[in-house]
Amino acid sequence: MGYCFGQSGSQSQETKIETLAEGLGFPEGPIALADGSVLVVEMQFGNLTKIGKNGSKTVIAKLGGGPNGAAMGPDGAVYVCNNGGLQWSVRNGVTFPGEAAKDYKGGYIQRVDLQTGNITTLYSECEGRKLSAPNDIVFDAQGGMWISDQGKYFSTHKEHGSIYYAKTDGSFICRQAEKLETPNGIRLSADGKSLYYAETNTGRLFSYQINTPGEIDTSTKKLVIGLPGQQMFDSFALDEEGNLCVATLLNGGISIVSKDGKLLRHIPTQDILTTSICFGGNQQKTAYITLGGAGKLISIPWNKAGLKLNFLTY
């Protein structure tokens, strides 16, 4: 099914971009809340921050390191992927992440109590191997969390990426796939039978079949789409029809990909470092998008409802 954002299809009607907040430190991982506010992580500043409907910014928790992705858990707490910290540079007014921070000691998974701001570190390793750079997170219907670990760049080498499955109480984490090339965004199909993940450096989307909760069949790995030219994938969200709406780097915007691998449309966002997207608002027809390079949270009216995430009430 086609994607259209306005009766005439003109760019001015398609992208009614509203800036909700500015001055953020490379925002990612938006979570739309029922009261109209949006939570984001600020990777550069190490914060979990709440953006109010009036554009106010309230730091909920100072997480340190490099918070990279976030999701609402079954207990109402926010679970955060923290990559352990990066080096930063600004070029022509655009903020860019770089290789591992000088004080980097590894990545970790954190839990934030939204009522108190208390932070708990749940995982920093799996089977004796440290987490490298946890990037994104999604919960299944059973309350377990799927986690992408992007791997880490150093001046002399890089670490491979992985996909993990873990419980929220800190008692269990297992590696489900490894030796991956910069896995970034990670999401589930509506029926919970497919796990999607995006590779940043290759600009490709893959899927795995889920056999039982918390277990993928690595033999079912399938390429959904690969983009030509200089385009990279970051985080993404699904709409109600199963289309994947992928934050796209360099060709800054949202690439809308059908579940059978067709590029339906590209929605530009005016930032080459468009990092992530979530849905919320009335009937979940508002896209909240983080612009990392510009340090902004924006919104765009969407003509399809977003797929409702487990444990998130709108």
Phi-psi sector, 6: left (phi>0), alpha (psi -120 to 50), beta: left
Residue 158 gets which letter from DSSP?
B
pTM of the predicted model as reported, rounded to 2 decimal places: 0.94
Instruction: Please give the mean pLDDT across all residues of the chain.
Output: 94
The verdict on whether residue 310 carries a ligand-binding annotation is no
At residue 11 the predicted structure's pLDDT band, cuts being 50, 70 and 90, is very low
Q: What is the pLDDT of residue 231?
A: 96
For the chain, the helix, strand and coil percentages under 3-state DSSP, each to the nearest 5: 0, 55, 45
Sole residue written with tokens 């199963």: 242
Chain segment 51-93, per-residue pLDDT in tens: 999 999 999 999 999 999 999 999 999 999 999 999 999 999 9
Mean pLDDT of 108-127: 97
Catalytic residue among 136, 149, 234, 239: 234
Listed by start position, the domains of the chain span 24-231
pLDDT exceeds cutoff 90 at 209 = yes
Q: What is the pLDDT of residue 158?
A: 86
Which pair of tokens denotes residue 248? 């796209």
Active-site residue flag, 149: no
Chain segment 148-169, per-residue pLDDT in tens: 999 988 888 889 999 999 999 9
Which pair of tokens denotes residue 274? 């468009």
24-231 belongs to CATH 3.40.50.2300? no
CB 255 within 8 A of CB 262: no
What's the CA angle centered on 200, arms 139 and 273, to 5 degrees?
Answer: 95
Mean pLDDT of 259-264: 96
The verdict on whether residue 251 carries a ligand-binding annotation is no
Which pair of tokens denotes residue 73? 């858990």
Which pair of tokens denotes residue 100? 């591992």
Half-sphere exposure of 301 (CA within 13 A, CB side): 10
The verdict on whether residue 135 carries a ligand-binding annotation is yes
Q: What is the pLDDT of residue 160?
A: 93
Cβ atoms within 10 Å, residue 187: 25
Half-sphere exposure of 145 (CA within 13 A, CB side): 34
Q: What is the pLDDT of residue 12?
A: 36
Sole residue written with tokens 């002399």: 156
Pairing of strands 108-112, 119-123: antiparallel
Q: What is the pLDDT of residue 153?
A: 82
